[in-house]
Amino acid sequence: MPDWGGEFLPSAENYMGGNGFLLTLAKGFMPSLAAVSKIDFPHRVSQAEVKAYAKELFRPSFPQVDRLMGIFDNTEIVTRNFCQPLADYSLARTFRESNESYIQTSLDYSVQAIEQALGSAQLQKEDITDLVFVSTTGLATPSLDALIMNRMRLRTDVNRIPIFGLGCAGGVSGFAKANLLAMARPDAVVALVSVELCSFTFLRNDFSKSNFVASSLFSDGVACCIVTGDQRPGNAGITYHAARSKLYYDTLDVMGWQFTNDGFKVVFAESIPEIIRKHIYDDIASFLALQKMTLDDVKNFIFHPGGRKILEAYQETLPVDGDFLFNTRQVMNDNGNMSSASVLYVLERFWRHGFENGPGLMVALGPGFSSEMVLLKMNNR
């Protein structure tokens, strides 16, 4: 079991190659998760409804649709979290129209998620020092963080970091970066916002298997985490410990988007579970070894719910007893795959329903192909 004492140096060396200045600056500064919020959209529908609707939507242009409908039944998803009514999928919208809807919807729900998290943390909007915005399902310049600042009238000197393109891995990566900001500045209040509105990327005339898989899995999610430096009062039950990124060479075609005249065409390879089986145990074990830990030390598994086959690959590969992915599976069953926001919904579930005292491990994989990991100290107070 690791020594969680005050002499522990946080994981700045994993990012900066052992830069002595940053290590000295980071020593003893342990950022905390002060609050986490999520959005439950008003248009939640059952997976059975989505399947029936997709069948009728695809059938006129794709007579072979029946042979692919079984994909919906094998997901273990019960309901989907959507920001728009199911009927809107049938609308013939240009990419411009879809993206404008993405921007407006993202702005509205981002503000709502931030206000909810600030209220839970008993902080004011004037306290925010940094704003990290993560998304991969729409485009905006000025970036959404600038729009959020204008809408909420945040301080004009807020440090903004927009992150695009990390896909499902963006939630863990964004959380790591939010904590690094709070580590460097102990009076920081960092708002991390993840917005993924996958429904606006749906292409009704894309009959590829990847699109059918995406249609059976992906949904919409918005989450906000408030991370504070150690000189800010608040809940210190979950504190940052370390982080690590890993890119796998020659896997650029595994996951991502092809940008077409019609919008975002999904790339989703069948090899993802096999990549997990090949790499994830060694990656996690080596990451934990840097912290003088093993997998047996981890008490809370905060994994991105990518899909049934991905969860099975984790369970088959990681020698962990019991249903260690229970919270992850519940989020998937209730919401579907919300890309980068999903893992923050899992974190929110741990936050709301409780966790076991001890280390917590956040894991997500995304385009690159790559993995992101964060190690937490989790102690109920």
3-state secondary structure of 32: strand
Distance CA 105, CA 110 (A): 8
Asked if 360 and 375 count as a contact pair (C-beta separation under 8 A), the reply is yes
pLDDT tens, N- to C-terminus, the chain (381 residues): 555 543 333 444 443 333 333 332 344 558 999 999 999 999 999 999 988 888 877 776 666 777 777 778 888 899 999 999 888 877 778 899 999 999 999 999 999 999 999 999 999 999 999 999 999 999 999 999 999 999 999 999 999 999 999 999 999 999 999 999 999 888 999 999 999 999 998 877 776 777 778 888 899 999 999 999 988 866 668 999 999 999 999 888 888 888 888 888 888 888 888 889 999 999 999 999 999 999 999 999 999 998 899 999 999 999 998 899 999 999 999 999 999 999 999 999 999 998 989 999 999 999 988 999 999 999 875
Distance CA 380, CA 267 (A): 41
Q: Same fold for the domain at 38-228 and the one at 237-378?
A: yes
Domain ranges, ordered by start, for the chain: 38-228, 237-378
The pTM is what?
Answer: 0.89
CATH of domain 38-228: 3.40.47.10
Q: Which residues are catalytic?
A: 168
- Domain 237-378: CATH class, spelled out: alpha beta
For strands 130-135 and 189-197, give the pairing. Answer: parallel
What is the pLDDT at residue 318?
94
50-88 residues labelled b (16+ CB within 10 A) or e (exposed): bbebbeebbeeebeebeebbebbeebebebbbbbbebeb
Largest CA distance in the chain: 65
According to DSSP H, which parts of the chain are helical?
A: 12-16, 20-26, 47-58, 70-73, 95-121, 144-152, 170-184, 209-217, 272-290, 308-317, 326-335, 342-353
Task: List 359's β-bridge partners, or say none.
Answer: 377
Residue 172: phi and psi, rounded to 5, are -70, -45
What is the pLDDT at residue 40?
95
Number of other CB atoms surrounding residue 186 within 10 Å:
16
Q: What angle do CA 20, 24, 29 make, to 5 degrees?
A: 140
What is the pLDDT at residue 372?
95
Asked if 156 and 97 count as a contact pair (C-beta separation under 8 A), the reply is no
CA atoms within 13 A on the CB side of 48: 0
What is the pLDDT at residue 2?
57
Task: List 193's β-bridge partners, or say none.
Answer: 133, 224
